Amino acid sequence: MEKNYVEVLGFVAGTLTTVAFFPQALKSWRTKSAKDISLAMFPLLVVGIVLWMIYGLLINSFPLIIFNSITLAEAVLILYVKIKHG
């Protein structure tokens, strides 16, 4: 596969996975509730996202770095609401 197609694939995947968290992050922030979200899931997710970011830095992959940075912010926001408000 040409490098350009691989890059486009990375941007599409990053966009979809990043946007997928936005509705939940927004809902949790607005309602100040994350009662139905598993507390165990988000610390694991945050660690996984950080590892993806480190991997992206090591291989110099712009899509991995940018999209995982945004997803990390969303996941941390949801985790914060979960811990603070239940």
**For residue 75, what is the domain's CATH number?**
1.20.1280.290
The percentage of residues in the chain with a pLDDT greater than 90, rounded to a whole number, is: 29
Question: Looking at residue 66, what is its pLDDT?
Answer: 93
* Rounded distance between C-alpha atoms, residue 11 and residue 6, angstroms: 9
* Token duo for residue 85: 């408000």
Query: What is the number of domains present in the chain?
Result: 1
Rounded average pLDDT over 49-67: 91
What is the DSSP code string of 37-48?
A: S-TTHHHHHHHH
∠ CA 65-4-55 to the nearest 5 degrees? 25
Rounded average pLDDT over 20-41: 87
**What does the pLDDT look like over 59-71, one tens digit per residue?**
998 888 999 999 9
Domain that holds residue 79: 3-85
